[in-house]
Chain A
Amino acid sequence: MSHRTGASKAFLALVRRDLLLAFRRRSEMMQPLLFLLVVVSLFPLGVGPSPDLLGSIAPGVIWIAALLATVLSLDTLFRSDFEDGTLEQFAISGHPVTVIALAKIMVHWLVAGLPIVLLSPLLALWMNLPMDALDVLVITLLLGTPVLSLVGSIGGALTVSLKRGGQLLSLLVFPLYVPLLIIAANAVSAAVAGLPYSGQLGLMGAGLIAALTLAPFATAAALKLSLE
């Protein structure tokens, strides 16, 4: 083929298209974020408005809410492309499926993960998180939400061909999210208590690099499997 585009051009085209699609379906995209805000805002009502109590559970609550919000949006990651045949066109286009998976994951993070990071100061305020720990919360979310998208995409790709893959998807990905949740919440709690937290952040950075290098390949393999 003489006039084939390179993989990088296809990557950019796909990112642009998915961002446009996300904008067109913005009410659908807002849903997980709304869920995040509602969950966090319900906590002071449920456990009582004591500032000390809220402050001490804030890291865990915010991280759990972020995790649930991400899983909510994972089911739609590949579904529409699978159902209208776009995914099989991608698979036979000659472009590496890994590149396609990476583009979809990146847009998922931009649309579902980045807004969580941006909203986190507001959530921290609601939960009365001490302000000196806010930067650590933002850093853990910055390092952690891409991992949520990357690892979650494997589950999304595996369950895309199932009619009701949602439940299975949560069963698949939640166990994988547990270490991340523990380390991230621990880092923020350590910052609140004035203890060193660089070790936890280092682990999260290593996790991000590992997920970034491995997950796209696993997702691509899972997508090929789902197309059979």
Chain B
Amino acid sequence: MDQFRLHHGMDLLQAKPYHSPEFINFKCMISVSDLTLERYFEPVFQPVSFSISTGDLVLLTGDNGCGKTTLIRILAGVLAPSEGRIEWGDDGMIYVGHMLAVKDDLTVTENINFMRQFLGHSETSTAEIVERVGLRRVCEQTARTLSAGQRKRCALARLLLTDAKLWLLDEPYSNLDKHGMIMLDGILERHLRDGGACAMATHGSLRPEGFEYREIGMVSGAAS
């Protein structure tokens, strides 16, 4: 942590871009090689190899059904790959998928409070996190009454609760309005600047704006 802080100061002074290879404490957070998953004796996607390091933003793109969600779930450790190798770093990761893990019967504040106690503590207060994801007005409502976009924001609030360095996001922009997308871009920018990394699955039309990113085009396994 201290090294990160130290570097962070230097980074500001010398105004180096956060994705610079000279980034001190440059660390590999996840690396996969020839990874694929078979379902019903057919690979879901063509084998992929890549690694994600400090400051990286990686987009997994491709058509519907090409295995983006499956790959993200493998990276998160929910699914086990049937072939290939996967190695995780020790900086922690957090995954926000299609299933938002927001409890309908709890209020926004209760949802965030639970995840804070469960995942780890962050210095930011729940009220501040609620403010940052733009849910202050509805924070005492049960999640059942929220719109799809507001539920998404409630799930994305998890990103602010840990100091996990690797973010795995599955279609993070879906359901979000313009302000929500700007909000997400903001916290993503800060995360990458602080030495984090992010892998994001997206089908193409919704992309982070103003970021340098690497794109990994995925091909459905059945296409071969």
Contact = CB atoms under 8 A, between A and B. Distances in A.
Interface of A: 1-5, 9-10, 12-14, 16-17, 20-21, 24-25, 80, 83-86, 88-89, 91-95, 227-228
A1 B92 contact: yes
**Size bin of chain B's contact surface:** 20 to 34
Interface in B152-196: 162-164
12 contacts: A1-B163, A4-B92, A4-B119, A4-B120, A9-B117, A20-B106, A25-B105, A88-B73, A88-B101, A92-B77, A93-B119, A228-B79
B163 A3 contact: yes
B106 A17 contact: yes
B118 interface: yes
Contacts of A2: 1, 163
Contact of A94 (B1, B92, B102, B105): B92
B149 to A, nearest CB: 17
Contacts of A228: 79-80
Given A3-B163, A5-B118, 19 more contacts: A1-B163, A2-B163, A4-B120, A4-B162, A5-B121, A14-B118, A17-B103, A17-B110, A24-B106, A24-B142, A85-B99, A88-B76, A88-B101, A89-B101, A91-B77, A91-B78, A92-B93, A93-B119, A228-B80
Contact of A227 (B78, B90, B95, B162): B78
Interface of B: 1, 73, 76-80, 90-93, 95, 97-106, 110, 114, 117-122, 142, 162-164
A5 B92 CA distance: 13
B103 A10 contact: no
B81 to A, nearest CB: 11
B78 A88 contact: yes
Given A17-B106, A84-B99, A86-B103, A92 B118 contact: no
Majority secondary structure of chain A interface residues (helix, strand, loop or mixed): helix
A145 B13 CA distance: 64
Contacts of A93: 118-119
A1 B164 contact: yes
A76 B49 CA distance: 40
Contact of A20 (B78, B110, B119): B110
The 9 closest A-B pairs by CB, nearest first: A85-B99, A13-B117, A1-B92, A24-B105, A85-B101, A86-B101, A89-B101, A3-B120, A17-B114
A88 B97 contact: yes
Contacts of A1: 90-92, 120, 162-164
Contact of B78 (A10, A84, A92): A92
A30 B78 CA distance: 34
A35 to B, nearest CB: 22
Nearest to B111: A17
Nearest to B119: A93
A91 B95 CA distance: 11
A179 B163 CA distance: 49
Contacts of B73: 88
B150 to A, nearest CB: 15
Contacts of A86: 101, 103
Contact of B103 (A5, A84, A91): A84
Contacts of B162: 1, 3-4
B105 A21 contact: yes
Nearest to A82: B99
B114 A13 contact: yes
B95 to A, nearest CB: 6
A91 B121 CA distance: 19
